[in-house]
Amino acid sequence: MRGLRAVLVAIALGALIACGTGTVTTSTGQVVPVVTVQIQDSAADVLKLLDDAYKSAVATHDAAALTEDPVVHAKHRAILLATYTGLRSSWDALIAWKAASTGAPPTNVLSSVVTAARDFVPLAVELKAIPQATADTITKYLNAFFPPGGAP
Amino acid sequence: MSTTVQVPAGLTAAQVQAIATANPGLILALPMPAGVDAPKDVHRERILGWLDTLEQPVEAGVALILPPPVGLFLSGITKLAIGAWRTKLNGTPAQERWTAAQMAAERDSLPVPKT
């Protein structure tokens, strides 16, 4: 993902007070407050970002099977498998939230993947699946909800 | 009431954390992916609010500042333009960017490492 341009940053900060009102009839047929749908969409954006990085990292990882140190390769595989499990769980949580449309803040959705993501993001950079700027953005987002050192 | 704001790329993790701590209820979201617009419904509601607020002062200002024939004409044009804008915005359906089916498809597209 490309970094956020400075102008967009200014616009985003300027819109700090902006708040969604009204409701949306979602694909599940439920009538949900706009702000809830926006938060769900934002959580999906985060997971999609991680998904894309994960897919790219897996492709690079598999391609390096014959050339990489077996110990390093096994370590990378363990990180990728943990990320795979975490991502699936997070999508499940988000889909469940979508169906229920009550409670379940983004922390519930992301808690399944946050631990794995902390190991995965540096690996994704190492495997050139994502640029450092994207890794920094993901890390900032995760840190905002799950401060380093705290329980996920 | 929650407020959603995109995380600016230029902020440090400490700054983001400080914002989150100082603003309970603030939802920090990632920047929109390239080519994806911000949710129209949120912008729509915000702009409609602005139109409600600005319409009367703008019309009155135009009518007061300019000579009567021109002022009245421009005031009428302003009213028509704002009305058209409001009608268009009201006609824009609020929508979700991620459906449950899209989420499930994304989840199921995840590959398992082969090696």
Q: Are residues B54 and B108 both part of a single domain? A: yes
Q: Are residues B50 and B8 both part of a single domain? A: no
Q: Is residue A19 within 8 Å of B5, Cβ to Cβ? A: no
Q: Are residues B23 and B55 both part of a single domain? A: no
What gap in Å lies between CA B19 and CA A98, rounded to an integer? 27
Q: State the pLDDT at residue A134.
A: 86
Q: Residue A101: inside a domain, yes or no?
A: yes
Q: Are residues B5 and B47 both part of a single domain? A: no
Q: Residue A1: inside a domain, yes or no?
A: no
User: How far off is chain A from B99, nearest CA to CA, in Å?
Assistant: 6
Q: Are strands A31-33 and A23-25 parallel, antiparallel or unpaired?
A: antiparallel
The answer, yes or no, to whether residue B98 has pLDDT greater than 50, is yes
Q: Is residue B101 within 8 Å of A92, Cβ to Cβ? A: no
Q: Give the pair of three-digit tokens for residue B41.
A: 């419904």
CB of B105 within 8 Å of any CB in chain A? no
Tell me the residue range of the domain where A56 lies: 6-145
Q: Are residues B40 and B5 both part of a single domain? A: no
| B21-80: pLDDT as tens digits | 666 655 555 554 444 444 444 555 566 666 666 666 666 776 667 766 666 677 777 777
Percent of chain A residues topping a pLDDT of 90: 38
Tell me the residue range of the domain where B79 lies: 35-115
Say what the pTM is: 0.61
Average pLDDT of chain A is 80
Q: Are residues B50 and B77 both part of a single domain? A: yes
Question: What's the distance, CA B33 to chain centroid?
Answer: 16
Q: Best of A23, A28, A34 to disrupt the B interface by mutation (most B CBs within 10 Å)?
A: A34
Which pLDDT band, with edges at 50, 70 and 90, does A11 fall under? very low
Q: Are residues B85 and B105 both part of a single domain? A: yes
The residue among B82 and B36 whose pLDDT is bigger is B82
Q: State the pLDDT at residue A8.
A: 34
Q: State the pLDDT at residue A143.
A: 83
Q: Do B6 and A12 touch (CB under 8 A)?
A: yes
Which pLDDT band, with edges at 50, 70 and 90, does A73 fall under? very high
CB of A31 within 8 Å of any CB in chain B? no
Total number of domains in chain A: 1
Q: Residue A102: inside a domain, yes or no?
A: yes
Q: Residue A130: inside a domain, yes or no?
A: yes
A1-10, A50-59, A63-72, B35-44: segment of lowest average pLDDT: A1-10
Q: State the pLDDT at residue A7.
A: 31
What's the ipTM? Answer: 0.79
What gap in Å lies between CA A33 and CA A120, rounded to an integer? 34
What CATH number does the domain containing A105 carry?
A: 1.20.140
Q: Residue A36: inside a domain, yes or no?
A: yes
Q: Are residues B57 and B19 both part of a single domain? A: no
Q: Are residues B49 and B93 both part of a single domain? A: yes
Q: Residue A152: inside a domain, yes or no?
A: no
Q: State the pLDDT at residue A12.
A: 36
Which of B50, B34, B42 is closest to B95 using CA atoms?
B42
Chain A residues touching residue B98 (CB < 8 angstroms): 40-41, 44-45
Of how many residues is chain A composed?
152
Q: Give the pair of three-digit tokens for residue A26.
A: 């979602």
Q: Is A24 helix (H, G, I), strand (E, B) or coil?
A: strand
Q: Are residues B99 and B79 both part of a single domain? A: yes
Chain B residues touching residue A20 (CB < 8 angstroms): 4, 39, 41-42, 45
Q: Residue A150: inside a domain, yes or no?
A: no
Total number of domains in chain B: 2
